[in-house]
Homo-oligomer: A and B are copies of this chain.
């Protein structure tokens, strides 16, 4: 199961704003619960830490993503779960999760889940 206990934070250095952080993992994989075949995605996390808030530590984020490796879970639920876990962890000003899935049956998919007041410049990107 996805293991949120792997996630760690550190205090944000930002004393003024906007301060926007974006991490793109090109090595995400989980398993389709219907067919048992593996799924592959690029996952982008984009967020603005809260004032005096925290940032997710990069290596802990990698290990957390790896905990989906043998999990049977749909595209939409992957995206929604990561959003919820990271919002719980950091309580950021705003946050986006964008999952970009390799093709299945000739169809590529992108799922976007947002939290908070995402500035218009980041919508749809």
Minimum CB distance partner of A16 in chain B = B115
Flag whether A22 is at the interface (Cβ < 8 A).
Answer: yes
* B106–A26 touching, CB < 8 Å: yes
* A22–B110 touching, CB < 8 Å: yes
Q: Which of A78-115 contact B (CB under 8 A)?
A: 80, 102-115
Minimum CB distance partner of A111 in chain B = B21
Residues of A within 8 A of B (CB): 10, 12-27, 29, 37-38, 40, 55, 58-59, 61-62, 66, 69-70, 74-77, 80, 102-115, 118-125
* A66–B80 touching, CB < 8 Å: no
* A102–B22 touching, CB < 8 Å: no
The 5 closest A-B pairs by CB, nearest first: A121-B124, A121-B123, A27-B106, A22-B110, A20-B112
A115 cross-chain contacts in B, Cβ below 8 A: 16
Minimum CB distance partner of A26 in chain B = B106
A112 cross-chain contacts in B, Cβ below 8 A: 18-22
A27 cross-chain contacts in B, Cβ below 8 A: 38, 40, 102, 106
Complex-state Cα separation, A103 to B108, whole angstroms: 11
